[in-house]
Structure 1
């Protein structure tokens, strides 16, 4: 899964931000990043969302804000790639630069809540709870022009910034190491983990990718991520297992091996350590929240 930089600057030459209502048989399978913020609203389809090192299920009605240069991808379920499928994936994506209203606009006191949301966006922000008003405004904005469209976007950002129900997605370690700080070796490690977490990955494997000896790699990785490599890998695998559990397509034993664990006892132990629940209780909790 090669990481791509998508250049959207040409899309913004004549406008301060862009709005696209994307409709495809399935979303493009491209693990990518770009210097613009992206506000994504899923109108149709389901699948797996990858943002940084976060892996979760996505469904209709999801609203996510992605910060600049944060890698991401929406991967539809297998049935969306079948030949002659009548399924459709649809999402509204709004792209804008952090300074699209001027370098100092969001520094004024009245914009403090939006500025805080922009800071959180470096991790990816998934909004939860009642989003009906936000989605209604997002659907309407593409019908507006000029001044009205700009004011509408500002109102949407303010609405979301004051929305109390949200969660941050990617880890601090991933975000810190992905910055342009010369740690390109760790970026390659994260890419390798996201691509291969279902398979057996050893400390030597990732240390070689980082061009470091295992001891030095372990020390650097723990300093950046505040957890060991094995803890990090298990959390990625558990995140994917949560997604599979919520889909209710596989039994727990199948999910264990599909997520990269090699035995049920270790899977159960790591799952409870990460989520606080056993896989069975996690499913019950999910069903009780539906």
Structure 2
């Protein structure tokens, strides 16, 4: 199953799209995984969940600011109400040569870098949020000027990090990412259960040996590493939101060995489950 192509319809009175997107929930990647030729800047105003960008998986929460380049597959899954401000535009929305001008070279660099996906932090998020909220209430030239100001803030920020590797960004294949979506959906539905390589390999109609190579090539990780990321993120949520004992959290997250669980939790979260819970509380 390939990532869905999304056709973005720009209002006749605007050269780019700026809107608020809300949803009650969207738990499966198959409901969210898509791509489009437009660049996208996305600010999460409310909500939390799991973010998929290319071959990268991470958690997202309120205040996150990201930018996706053209045709970069992405999707946000969540089981709670969420609200995001989304700005989308083509790379030539102001004409084919506008970003070739000397005055706009920093923005051109930003657009090129966005092919890897970009995540912004610190004061950049605060400044950008103020601008994006103003954009929603403006039209015409004031709206365009605010957008150029937003692009300048992002282009000159040092509080930015790439999401995907350069190798992935230059080697993207829509068909292969559709197969990755099948894998991720299978993991999301089964990560608390015993891992079955054969079961997910059968879904792709390939052998287990071919599946191992496929996962390593397209995610730069092993299947076990991906499973552990899902399980530990889930365990962290249980530690923060329930009174369950650490052993209960261990078993509920899909592990059957507490010492292994503690080791993996510390490896991925930087702290033991007990320390993590005490710091949160």
TM-score (norm 2): 0.76
Between the aligned partners of 2:206 and 2:252, the Cα distance in structure 1 is 30
- Residue 41 of structure 1 is matched in structure 2 by 43
Following superposition, the deviation at residue 143 of structure 1 comes to 2.1
Indicate the SS of the match to 1:9: coil
**Alignment correspondent of 1:17:** 16
CA distance, structure 1, for counterparts of residue 252 and residue 17 of structure 2? 38
In structure 2, what is the equivalent of residue 263 of structure 1?
Answer: 257
1:153 deviation in Å?
Answer: 0.9
What are the equivalent positions in structure 2 for 1:1-290 lying under 5 Å apart?
5=4, 7-12=6-11, 15-22=14-21, 26=24, 30-35=31-36, 36-43=38-45, 45-52=46-53, 53-59=56-62, 61-67=63-69, 68-77=71-80, 89-108=82-101, 110-130=103-123, 131-169=125-163, 179-180=173-174, 184-245=178-239, 247-249=240-242, 251=244, 252-283=246-277
Mark the runs of 5 or more structure 1 residues left unpaired by the alignment.
81-88
Q: Deviations over 1:23-81 (max 9, x none)?
A: 56x355542323133322233x333132234231412x33232344422124243xx5x
C-alpha change, 1:42 and 1:182, in structure 2 (3 Å) is closer
Deviations 1:240-261 (A, max 9, x none): 444555x444544444344433
CA, structure 1 residues 56+187, in 2 after alignment: closer, same or farther (shift >3 Å)? closer
Shift of 1:135: 1.3
Once residues 174 and 49 of structure 1 are traced to their aligned partners in structure 2, the CA distance between those partners, rounded to angstroms, is: 20
Equivalenced residue count is 272
The TM-score normalised by the length of structure 1 is 0.74
Gap change, CA 1:182 and 1:232, over 3 Å in 2: closer
Unaligned runs of 5+ in 2: none
8 Å contact 1:32–1:72 — kept in the other structure? yes
